[in-house]
Chain A
Amino acid sequence: MEAQTGHSQAQPLEFREVTKRYPGSAEPAVDGLSLEVPAGEICVLVGPSGCGKTTAMRMVNRMIDFTSGDILIGGRSVRERKPEQLRREIGYVIQQIGLFPHRTIGDNIATVPKLLGWDKPRIAARVDELLDLVGLDPQQMRDRFPAQLSGGQRQRVGVARALAVDPPIMLMDEPFGAIDPINRERLQNEFLRLQAELRKTIIFVTHDIDEAIKMGDRIAIMQVGGKLAQYAPPAELLMYPASRFVEDFVGSDRALKRLALQRVRDIDLWKAAAIRAGTPVAEARAMVAEADVPYPMLVDEQGRPKGWLSDRALTGERVTEDLRSPAHPIVELDDVLRDALADLLSSETRYGAVVDKHGTLAGVLSLEVIQTFLHTAPAASPTGADLLTE
């Protein structure tokens, strides 16, 4: 018991040819599902209703028993243990949350620790720790009843309860489905931050492809009949949909969805000629010749972009501060690509100056750069940008 309550190691999860048939129905609910989830990753099961995603999830903790195949947690079949014991080691979060209305928040979170026979001081300490972890004040929340909490607070308690004994695996069935869009976004972000710390192996079920792309390290798209249509990291899925079904399911705006997944720093930017005023023109011209952008950028002493130089600036002996247009837009390396694209589209120039944290010019972003990026492998093969410099 002590072993599983310390900071437990996440474990890999594997579906091996798992099939679920309900008696009296011709089609299987889940049909020969095989996939591996590496330890510490979020695997999102997504698909239209009736695709068997929830059934697949519920087979992991044996809320539903599979007909054939096997599910392995850390290499060990879930069938080796009694269902109750297995479930106590698997965090479980559902859309309706399912807090016990007759128990206080503290008691709700303490459900599994109590089942495992922890002593009172240890349970009390763990409850407070978990409430803190999910951003709720233990003093205020511990003794309240679920009816006294908002939907978002209840959802946090649901997550805290699932984490109570620090399980290596978590199952989440549309955990944010009942939350309004604004709070959903917040809870999703909070949960991703939490997961970055906790590194649980998570099966996350949703019908919302945007949520899948946002939350998943890997996405399993399922189609009606319980068949796996594609299993891939989000970027790959958006880049190379394996079938017409997947293509339709991810939507016609999958290019934009991909951009929403990545930051400017993930892309190979164009090199610009960063030139200070007073530089000898010959030297400046050499720099321009080497750069990817045909226009030189005037920068200050710290290398911060000031504007695009005009042709006249390079006509004398030394470069003057004669600008063609201001350095606008300026995007940061940490900006999400989709936002950077929006900036680019709404500005008059075709090039966006990209700066690092200190404001120093790091490269240039253009529509062509983004287009090329969208047509290259998501693993960002370094050759992609090389093609640009013709």
Chain B
Amino acid sequence: MSLLPLAQLKIQKPGGSDSCAAANDFCPGWIVDNIDRYWTPLLEHVYLTVVPVAIGFAISLGLAILAHRRRWLTGPIITVTGIFFAIPSVAAFFLLQPITGLGYTTAMVALVSYTLLIIFRNITTGLRNVPAETVDAAIGQGLTHRQVLYRVELPLATPEIMAGLRIATATTVGLAALAVFAGAGGLGAEILVDKHFKSNVVVAGGLALLLAAVLDLLILGVQRAVTPWQRARG
């Protein structure tokens, strides 16, 4: 699997930093010269993170709202999503291949299933932490149950929901690095291509880390923007 890309990589190594690369040191010069080849895998990685988290969020939200109306569903949902969460990701990528084939679909199905438990639990916790008197006052003023949910409960659960999204996103950035085994590319593929070449691993791994950090800050920024009351104290 890795022989052919390795051969290609060798060809790409330019003469200038040859000695450093040959010695398998950390080569800034090589990185500068070769940074372009990482943009596509990075974009793939962004895709492999953002889409599963978004889909996972949509599914979890639906499940959480369902479980909010029918409390008894909470246990079973946590059990099922917990099992998904416990399956080793690499195993999932291979197990899904006979059904969904090699490529994005397999990666997506697996990555989405990993986000469910985290996001579901956080939404549920957030909804449960809404003060009872706030809900009572809302109902007492004549809000319908739907209005209570969308205008009061979900907005007040935002901090917990956002916390869930942050954990899910960071986790997915990491797991998406293994999507290469589902044939879905991403930065993981780039690491595997020349896993013995330090500079390559550092750049690809570093970009994944950076991606996780940037996405985390992004979500944090959104959270702060949509929860102005959280900063208004005293």
Flag whether A353 is at the interface (Cβ < 8 A). Answer: no
Provide the bound-state CA to CA distance between A99 and B138, in Å.
9
B143 touches A94 (CB 8 A): no
A115 touches B140 (CB 8 A): no
On chain B, the residues within 8 Å of A144 by CB distance are: 232
Cβ contacts B129-153/A at 8 Å (1 or 0 each) = 0010111111111111001000010
B229 touches A147 (CB 8 A): yes
A92 touches B143 (CB 8 A): no
Most buried by B among A87, A101, A171: A101
On chain B, the residues within 8 Å of A97 by CB distance are: 133, 137
Flag whether A98 is at the interface (Cβ < 8 A). Answer: yes
On chain A, the residues within 8 Å of B228 by CB distance are: 145
B140 touches A101 (CB 8 A): no
B140 touches A100 (CB 8 A): no
B142 touches A84 (CB 8 A): yes
Provide the bound-state CA to CA distance between A144 and B229, in Å.
9
Flag whether A33 is at the interface (Cβ < 8 A). Answer: no
The total number of A-B Cβ pairs within 8 Å is 77
Cβ contacts B156-171/A at 8 Å (1 or 0 each) = 1010000000000000
On chain B, the residues within 8 Å of A111 by CB distance are: 138, 141, 143
Interface of B is mostly: helix
Interface residues of A in 103-132 (CB under 8 A from B): 103, 111-112, 115
Flag whether B24 is at the interface (Cβ < 8 A). Answer: no
Candidates A94, A99, A145; contact of B140 at CB < 8 Å: A94
On chain B, the residues within 8 Å of A112 by CB distance are: 141-142
Cβ of B191 to closest chain A Cβ, rounded Å = 43
What count of chain A residues pass the 8 Å CB interface test?
29
Candidates B134, B140, B144, B234; contact of A92 at CB < 8 Å: B140
- Known contacts A63-B140, A92-B140; A98 and B133 CB within 8 A of each other: yes
Cβ of A221 to closest chain B Cβ, rounded Å = 25
Cβ contacts A58-82/B at 8 Å (1 or 0 each) = 0001010000000000000000000
Flag whether A148 is at the interface (Cβ < 8 A). Answer: yes
On chain B, the residues within 8 Å of A85 by CB distance are: 142
Cβ contacts B26-64/A at 8 Å (1 or 0 each) = 000000000000000000000000000000000000000
Provide the bound-state CA to CA distance between A86 and B131, in Å.
24
Interface residues of A in 133-152 (CB under 8 A from B): 144-148
A148 touches B137 (CB 8 A): no
- Known contacts A102-B156, A148-B234; A94 and B227 CB within 8 A of each other: no
Flag whether A214 is at the interface (Cβ < 8 A). Answer: no
A101 touches B229 (CB 8 A): yes
Flag whether B70 is at the interface (Cβ < 8 A). Answer: no
On chain B, the residues within 8 Å of A61 by CB distance are: 140
Candidates A63, A99, A145; contact of B139 at CB < 8 Å: A63
A96 touches B140 (CB 8 A): no
Flag whether A285 is at the interface (Cβ < 8 A). Answer: no
On chain B, the residues within 8 Å of A171 by CB distance are: 140
- Known contacts A84-B144, A144-B232; A102 and B139 CB within 8 A of each other: no
On chain A, the residues within 8 Å of B158 by CB distance are: 102
Q: Which residue of A lies closest to B155 (CB)?
A: A102
On chain B, the residues within 8 Å of A86 by CB distance are: 142
B232 touches A100 (CB 8 A): no
Q: Which residue of A lies closest to B137 (CB)?
A: A98
On chain B, the residues within 8 Å of A88 by CB distance are: 141-142
Interface residues of B in 105-139 (CB under 8 A from A): 131, 133-139
Most buried by A among B131, B137, B227, B233: B137
Provide the bound-state CA to CA distance between A83 and B142, in Å.
7
Q: Which residue of A lies closest to B130 (CB)?
A: A101
- Known contacts A98-B131, A101-B156, A102-B155; A115 and B141 CB within 8 A of each other: yes
Given A87-B139, A95-B133, A111-B138, 18 additional A-B pairs, CB 8 A: A63-B136, A84-B143, A84-B144, A86-B142, A88-B141, A92-B141, A94-B140, A98-B133, A98-B135, A100-B137, A100-B138, A100-B156, A101-B229, A102-B158, A111-B141, A111-B143, A112-B142, A171-B140
Interface residues, chain B, with chain A CB atoms under 8 Å away: 131, 133-144, 147, 152, 155-156, 158, 227-229, 232-234
Interface residues, chain A, with chain B CB atoms under 8 Å away: 61, 63, 83-88, 92, 94-103, 111-112, 115, 144-148, 161, 171
